[in-house]
Amino acid sequence: MISVDEALAQIFALLAPLGAETVPLAQAAGRVLAHPVRAARAQPPFPAASMDGYALAGDPRPGAVFHIVGEAAAGRAFGGSLAPGTAVRILTGAPVPEGATRVVMQEDVHLQGDRIVLAARLDGRTHIRPAGVDFGIGAEVAAPRRLRPADLALLAAMNIAEVSVTRRPDVALIATGDELVMPGEIPRDDQIIASNIFALRAMIEAEGGRARVLPIARDTAPALRMAFDLAEGADLIVTIGGASVGDHDLVARIGEELGLRRAFYKIAMRPGKPLIAGTLNGVPMLGLPGNPISAIVCGHLFLLPALRALLGLGCHPAAMQTGRLAGPVGPNGQRAHYMRARLTDAGIAPMDQQDSSLLSVFAQADALLLRPAGDGARAPGELVEYLPI
């Protein structure tokens, strides 16, 4: 069995970034910028007042008097330039008139009709934002980059109305098994509800993919063939279940009959041992184990990094963090164990029950504590790696 790192490297080797499409800025949240963008204008495009007050020229003395000759507001510039002894009423965001070298806050003047008298003490600041202080014309937003709200505001300020983003990966999700029905249906006594597919779908969508949930494939060759047919056009095919060695575990066999070229089968990982990866007629495929926790953990460790690679964000493993153990843990076996755990004030604490079918336990976990293959017993306070989930 290969290691998690080796499996991930082999999965990355199956993937290439998808092409780009142009979308309006209003639809670009969370998308991945595919090409660098350059500012079409500077911000601010003119020297701008940063306070409400009066624009003046020179370095006036306390008590000096100025005649107000006009007003500059945001979006309404004062046309002329300032002569000595004159001031312009100015509001935050307005262009500072030519000739003005500072803005005095209105709190620091006495208004007397159409004159102002400066207060005895002035702060030393100009209250003027120089043109281009935020960014100049041609400033670059580098790609690839996942666009966060602040990026969208920056691009808008740059007068970029539409952006080129990586196409959203179309992920075909195929749950397999005679025992499965969808929530809301009436299961027979020997059936259960398809559950992990909802977690995987949410994870895919949150990462920026489009999850295409196909009808549940029964454990028969024709049903699986039909499911693979329906997956046509997908950028990634993800099957769930039927990956192990049971009599009805058909995914690999039918996949191969249809042209699956397997990269690997089985990894030294717990949960998730029977993971399959390969390409089906050129389309990358992941065959996840059916146990709900195994499927979701494989989703975090393999599916999400694969999606990020398709999105052009590079080939990186899930971002592990370092923390301290809350209590002792025993030695680990020969498979890397991703234990469901909680992050507590005392450190990271594995849950008592670790069976890969226990969704109620998983739902209480907020981390996967990594116990490396062959790792010895560890004491409270020791540094460990974990993945926040």
Ligand X SMILES: Nc1nc2c(c(=O)[nH]1)N[C@H]1C(S)=C(S)[C@@H](COP(=O)(O)OP(=O)(O)OC[C@H]3O[C@@H](n4cnc5c(N)ncnc54)[C@H](O)[C@@H]3O)O[C@H]1N2
- Residues of this chain that interact with ligand MOO (CB under 6 A) are 270-273, 289, 291, 294, 356
Q: Tokens standing for 190?
A: 């020997």
CB of 309 to ligand X, least distance (A): 24
CA angle 88, 92, 94 (to 5 degrees): 60
Nearer to ligand X, 241 or 350 (CB): 241
Part of the chain binding ligand X (CB under 6 A), chosen from 41-49, 50-58, 152-160, 269-277: 269-277
Q: What are phi and psi of 211, to 5 degrees?
A: -90, 125
The torsion region of residue 240 among left (phi > 0), alpha (psi -120 to 50) and beta comes to beta
Type and span of the H or E element at 22: strand 20-24
Contact 223, 212 (CB under 8 A): no
Nearer to ligand X, 299 or 312 (CB): 299
Subset of residues 292 to 331 that bind ligand X, contact rule: CB under 6 A = 292, 294
Nearer to ligand MOO, 34 or 336 (CB): 336
How far apart are the C-alpha atoms of 3 and 351, rounded to whole Å?
A: 24
CB of 8 to ligand MOO, least distance (A): 16
Contact 87, 54 (CB under 8 A): yes
The binder of 209, among ligand MOO, ligand X, none, by C-beta within 5 to 8 A per type, is none
CB of 373 to ligand X, least distance (A): 15
295 beta partners: none
Residue 192 interacting with ligand X (CB under 6 A): yes
Q: What are the distances in angstroms from CA 225 to CA 159, 234, 289? A: 50, 15, 19
Residue 341 interacting with ligand X (CB under 6 A): no
Contact 283, 2 (CB under 8 A): no
Nearer to ligand MOO, 152 or 173 (CB): 173
Nearest residue to ligand X by CB is 290
Q: Tokens standing for 83?
A: 């002569």
Size of the site for ligand X (CB under 6 A): 26
Tally Cβ neighbours within 10 Å of residue 186.
Answer: 6
How far apart are the C-alpha atoms of 160 and 373, rounded to whole Å?
A: 49
Q: Select from 95, 242, 255, 350 the one that contacts ligand X (CB under 6 A).
A: 242
Residue 195 interacting with ligand X (CB under 6 A): yes
CB of 21 to ligand MOO, least distance (A): 36
| Sequence letter at residue 334 | Q
Selection from 106, 109, 105, 111 nearest residue 119 by Cα: 109
Peptide bond connecting 271 to the previous residue in cis, omega within 30 degrees of 0: yes
The binder of 244, among ligand MOO, ligand X, none, by C-beta within 5 to 8 A per type, is ligand X
Q: Select from 86, 164, 291, 332 the one that contacts ligand X (CB under 6 A).
A: 291
Q: Select from 95, 208, 255, 271 the one that contacts ligand X (CB under 6 A).
A: 271
Nearer to ligand MOO, 129 or 273 (CB): 273
The binder of 196, among ligand MOO, ligand X, none, by C-beta within 5 to 8 A per type, is ligand X
Part of the chain binding ligand X (CB under 6 A), chosen from 112-120, 245-253, 306-314, 379-387: 245-253
How far apart are the C-alpha atoms of 215 and 48, rounded to whole Å?
A: 59
Nearer to ligand X, 133 or 182 (CB): 182
User: Per-residue DSSP letters for 100-145?
Assistant: --EEEEGGGEEEETTEEEE-S---S---EEPTTSSB-TT-EE-SSE
How far apart are the C-alpha atoms of 222 and 226, rounded to whole Å?
A: 6
Residue 32 interacting with ligand X (CB under 6 A): no
CB of 294 to ligand MOO, least distance (A): 3
The binder of 283, among ligand X, ligand MOO, none, by C-beta within 5 to 8 A per type, is none
How far apart are the C-alpha atoms of 315 and 15, rounded to whole Å?
A: 9
The binder of 243, among ligand MOO, ligand X, none, by C-beta within 5 to 8 A per type, is ligand X
Nearer to ligand MOO, 212 or 270 (CB): 270
The binder of 141, among ligand X, ligand MOO, none, by C-beta within 5 to 8 A per type, is none
Type and span of the H or E element at 196: helix 196-207
CB of 229 to ligand X, least distance (A): 20
> Which residues sit at the interface with ligand X, rule CB under 6 A?
175, 177, 179-180, 192, 194-197, 240-246, 249, 271, 273-274, 289-292, 294, 356
